[in-house]
Amino acid sequence: MSDLLVELGTKGSEVILNLTNSSLEKLIPLKGKNQKVEFPETNYYLPLINGLLNLVVKTLEDCQVALKQATALSKSMPVASGINMGAGLGSVLNRGLATLICEEILATLAVFNKEHPQEGFLGFIPDKILRSLGLQLVDGRIAGIAVILGAAKDDDAAVDLIRNFQSKSIVSLLAGNIKGNSVKAQLERKGVELGLENYIVPLGADYLSVIYAVNFAVRAPLIYGGLKPGQWQGIAEYVRNRVPAFVLLLGHVDEVIVATGLGALAFGLPIITDLDVPQLGKIDTTLYEALVTEKDYKKIPSKCILARGIKVRLAEVAVPVPYAAAFEGERVRREQLHVEFGAKASLALEYLSSKGVDEVDDGSVELTGPDIDQLEKGSKSMPLAIVVDVYGRKMQKDFEPILERQIHRFVNYAMGIMHIGQRDMNWIRISKDAFSKGFRLKHLGVILHAMLHQEYNAIVDKVQVKLYTKKEDVVRISASVKEVFDQRDERISGMTDESVDTYYSCLLCQSFAPNHVCVVTPERLGLCGAYSWLDARASFEITPTGPNQPIKKGALIDERFGQWENVNEFVKQKSNKTIDKVSMYSLMDSPQSSCGCFECIVAIIPEANGVMIVHRDHSGMTPCGMTFTTLAGSVGGGVQTPGFLGVGKLYILSKKFISADGGLERVVWMPKELKEMLGDKLKNRAQEIGDASFVDKIADETIATTSEDLLIFLEKVKHPALTMPPMI
C-alpha cells in the first residue's frame, strides 16, 4: 500500500479516536456514565462493536470500554476480544477497524443528541429492513449494494449513475456531502424518487453516516449466518464472501475518509473513486482490486461490478423505458398519471392459461380496441383485459396461476408503470413520462413475452398476448374467467400433505444462512411466505438442479409431529449435519429452523399455556416481554429453537399449523393488524375448529402487552388454551 494512504489513514484514525474520546469526556460529566445510548429497533446494540468485540454497549460507560479497545486495536496491541488483522498491511487494516468502531460510537452519540437521523435521511437501518431484504438478496432481485459517498460531478451524472445501478438491481446507500451538495440533493433536483422501494436509501448528509452501511452489513452474519458476537474472523469473512457491497467515493476525500475506507477494506469491500488516488491491487481481504480510480462516469458502474465480482442478471426487454427489478416498488402518483386501468377507475383483469401448440403464435401481441394515445378527451382511464396464452411441452395446469402471478412483478419492473393486485382485481397505472417516452399498450405484451421466456424457459416454449380495451370485450372475458379463478382456489385449498408423496426443499436462503433448510409441504409454505408447495414444484421443473428439490417422504416416523425418514435424512445432509430431525407440525419438538426472513414469529407463552404470533411490521411490545426485533434475534441463523418458530403468514391458516401442539387453539395473542390481514380466512378457520367466536378470544396489543394482562383477559374469555394439556 502506498505510503501516502498509510500516512493519511493513520492521521485520520487518530483524529477520530481523539474526537470520540473528547465527545465522551464532554458528555459524561453532563449526563453521567450510566446514561443510556442505543440505535433504534435492533437486537444487536451497536452492531459493529457487538459483532467484532463481543461488547454490549448500552451506556456511555460502555462506549468508553469500546473506545479503549479501539485505541489498542489502532496500535495493533492486544485487545480483549482477540481481534487483530495481523502485522504489515494487517496493522493498517486494524486502524481502519478502530476508526469504524469510533464512528459507530459517534453515530450513537449523534442519535442521542438528536442529530441523527437528519431530516429526509434514514440514519441507522433497523433489523427488520435487513430481514425484509434477505429474500431479495438471495433470489437476485438485489444484485449488490453501492455505498456512495459525496456528490457526483454534476446533477445529470448523478442521475445517470443511479439509474444505471437501478437497472442492474443495485441498491444505493448515500452518505456525505461536498459543501452541502450530495447525491441525494442532485437526485432530488432532477425529480428522482428516493426510498428503499426505489433502491435508493439516503443514510445521512454527513460522512459519519457511512457507518450505517457498515453496521448494516455486519448484521447479516449475525442474523442469517449463525455467527455469534465476537467471532470477528467469521463475521469479516462472511461479509467478504456473501455481502455484495462496495464503496463508491465521489468528488472528495480527506484523512478521515481514508481511515474509514481502510475499515471497509478490512471487510473486503473494494473502493472505486473518481479521484486521483494511489491505486491498490488485490489485497488479502478483497476478492479483486482494492482501490480503483475511474474518471469516466459511464464506466464507473461496470468498474464497481468487476471490482466486487457482482453477478448481474440483465433483463433484455425491448420497451422505451428503463426496465429492472429496482423499479418494482415505484409508484405512479395522480399528478404523473397518464392512464390507469382497474381498481376504481375501470374494469380490468389479467389471465394466463396454457394452450395447444398450434394455438399460440410466439411473440404475437394483439390489441383489440383503442390504445392509450386514443383516450377519450378528459378521460384518464380505460377498461383492459390482458390475456396471456402459453404453450410448453412441460407446461402443467398447476403452473398457470404461478406464471400469472408473475405479471405483477414483470409489469412493475418497467419504469413509470405501476401494477398492483392480480386476476380481476388488478390496478395498472402508466405515467405521463413513460407515455411521452413512447410506452404503449403493446409494450405490456412485449414485457410478458420476453420475461416469461427469460425466467421460465424450462416450461414455456411459446407466449402470445392479447389485449382488449373495449368495454364489451372486457366484460365478456371477465365473466368467462371468473369460474377458472374459483376452480384454481379450490384446487389449492383442497390439497393436503397426505395427498402427496413428495415435499420440496427450499435452499435459496443458504447463500445467507448456510445450514438452513425449508421443507415446503402443501399445507405449510416457506417461512418467507413466498414459496408454496406448488411454487417449489414449478421451480424444480424450471431448474432441476436449483434450490427446490423433491423429497420423497419415505417411511412415516411420527404422524402427529409430522416426521418422515427421508425428510429427516435430507435435512440432516443439507443442514451440514447440524439438524438430525425435523417435525413439520410442532413448535416444541424438533421444529424447523429459521433463516431470518420469516414473515411472523410464533413464540410460546408458558404462563398462558399457549403461543403468541407477531409479524415483522409490528414494532410494539408483545406479552412475551420482547418486541419482534428482539424475538427475531433468538430465532434464526439456521438453528432449531424449540418454543420459537419463524413462519409464513398463511401457515397460520393451515390445518397443520402447529397441529402437534394443539393447533390454532393455542394462539392467545397476535397484533390487531395481523388479525385484520388474515381477515375472513381466520374467522373461517375458527368456525372449522368449532368455535366461531374464537378470533375474539385472541388478545391483541389493545388488550394486553404484558403476560399479566393477557392472563386476565384469557380467563375472562375462557380461552381454550388454559384447559389444554400442558405445552411443556
Stretch binding ligand SF4 (CB under 6 A), from 117-125, 306-314, 397-405, 506-514: 506-514
Rounded to a whole number of angstroms, the minimum distance from the CB of residue 649 to ligand SF4 is 12
Binding partner of residue 243 among ligand SF4, Zn ion, none, CB cut-off 5 to 8 Å per kind: none
Stretch binding ligand SF4 (CB under 6 A), from 56-64, 102-110, 218-226, 504-512: 504-512
Enumerate residues 6+ apart whose C-beta is below 8 A from 332. 416, 417, 418, 429, 430, 431
Binding partner of residue 540 among Zn ion, ligand SF4, none, CB cut-off 5 to 8 Å per kind: none
* 632 counts as binding Zn ion under rule CB under 5 A: no
Compute the distance between CA of residue 677 and CA of residue 652 in angstroms, rounded to an integer.
Answer: 11
Query: Binder to ligand SF4 among 391, 399, 531, 694 (CB under 6 A)?
Result: 531
* 194 counts as binding Zn ion under rule CB under 5 A: no
Alpha helices in 350-470 (DSSP H): 400-412, 432-436, 442-456
* 509 counts as binding Zn ion under rule CB under 5 A: yes
What angle do helix axes 3-31 and 255-266 make, rounded to 10 degrees? 100
Stretch binding ligand SF4 (CB under 6 A), from 187-195, 370-378, 390-398, 501-509: 501-509
Q: Which residue is nearest to ligand SF4 (CB)?
A: 526
Rounded to a whole number of angstroms, the minimum distance from the CB of residue 250 to ligand SF4 is 35
Compute the distance between CA of residue 658 and CA of residue 678 in angstroms, rounded to an integer.
Answer: 17
Rounded to a whole number of angstroms, the minimum distance from the CB of residue 585 to ligand SF4 is 17
Quote the cell numbers at residue 651.
401457515
Stretch binding ligand SF4 (CB under 6 A), from 233-241, 523-531, 602-610, 630-638: 523-531
**Residue 474, H or E segment:** helix 471-493
* 135 counts as binding ligand SF4 under rule CB under 6 A: yes
563-564 vs 144-150, strand pairing mode = unpaired
Q: Per the omega criterion (within 30 degrees of 0), is the bond before 544 cis?
A: no
Closest CA to 326 of 445, 416, 224, 203: 416
CB 24 within 8 A of CB 50: no
Q: Which residue has the cell 393451515?
A: 654
Q: Count other C-beta atoms under 10 Å from residue 88's C-beta.
A: 11
Stretch binding ligand SF4 (CB under 6 A), from 299-307, 327-335, 503-511, 659-667: 503-511
- Binding mask of the shown chain, residues 559 to 598, with x at each position contacting Zn ion by CB under 5 A: ------------------------------------x-x-
Q: Which is nearer to Zn ion, 604 or 647 (CB)?
A: 647
Rounded to a whole number of angstroms, the minimum distance from the CB of residue 528 to ligand SF4 is 3
* 530 counts as binding ligand SF4 under rule CB under 6 A: yes
Enumerate residues 6+ apart whose C-beta is below 8 A from 572. 579, 580, 581
Query: Binder to ligand SF4 among 390, 509, 613, 710 (CB under 6 A)?
Result: 509
CB 182 within 8 A of CB 150: yes
* 506 counts as binding ligand SF4 under rule CB under 6 A: yes
* 600 counts as binding Zn ion under rule CB under 5 A: no
Q: Which residue has the cell 419504469?
A: 415
Quote the cell numbers at residue 671.
397484533
3-state SS class at 410: helix
What angle do helix axes 89-112 and 3-31 make, rounded to 10 degrees? 30
Count residues contacting ligand SF4 (CB under 6 A)?
12
Query: Binder to ligand SF4 among 144, 226, 526, 662 (CB under 6 A)?
Result: 526
**Binding residues for Zn ion, per CB under 5 A?**
509, 595, 597
Binding site for ligand SF4 (CB under 6 A): 135, 506, 508-509, 518, 526-528, 530-531, 595, 597
